[in-house]
């Protein structure tokens, strides 16, 4: 049901490269320390991306911005998006908080 992501993992535990599979995502764009764009390769009624942008502001600190984008295909795609939109808010919000906590531990 979940598509290709249930059959594979990461090529390398520490490094990512454009084109790498990352669970059910594909690394589409990567600028180290600035941008990570992932394209979903799961079965969906549309195309989906997840992006992380990092902005470094010297003394003010670092800002992490996360954006989920979905381009629906037909009525099924629109129905899917509206059915899961609220759920994604919780999932992605929790993901950003988890990333921030992990980054604070690293230093």
User: What residue spans define the domains of the chain?
Assistant: 3-106
Please tell me the pTM assigned to this model.
0.80
Using alpha carbons, select from 74, 63, 58 the residue that is nearest to residue 103: 63
Q: Is the dihedral of CA 82, 86, 89, 91 positive or negative?
A: negative
User: Which string of DSSP letters, residue by residue, matches 60-74?
Assistant: G-EEEEEEEEEEE-H
Using CB atoms within 10 Å of the CB of residue 45, give its burial: 0 to 12 exposed, 13 to 18 middle, 19+ buried: middle
Residue 58 reports pLDDT greater than 80: no
Which residues on neighbouring strands pair with residue 22, listed in sequence order? 25
**CB of 44 within 8 A of CB of 28?**
no
What is the per-residue pLDDT across 6-52, written as a single tens digit (0 to 9) for each?
A: 555 667 778 899 999 988 899 999 999 899 999 999 899 999 999 99
* pLDDT level of residue 107 (50, 70, 90 thresholds): low
């Amino acid at each position: 049901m979940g598509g290709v992501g249930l059959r594979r993992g990461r090529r390398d535990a520490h490094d990512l490269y454009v084109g790498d599979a990352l669970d059910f995502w594909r690394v589409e764009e990567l600028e180290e320390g600035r941008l990570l764009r992932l394209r979903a390769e799961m079965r969906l009624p549309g195309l989906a991306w997840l992006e992380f942008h990092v902005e470094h502001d010297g003394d003010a600190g670092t800002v992490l911005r996360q954006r989920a984008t979905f381009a629906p295909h037909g009525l099924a795609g629109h129905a899917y998006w509206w059915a899961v939109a609220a759920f994604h808010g919780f999932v992605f919000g929790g993901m950003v908080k988890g990333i921030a906590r992990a980054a604070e531990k690293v230093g």
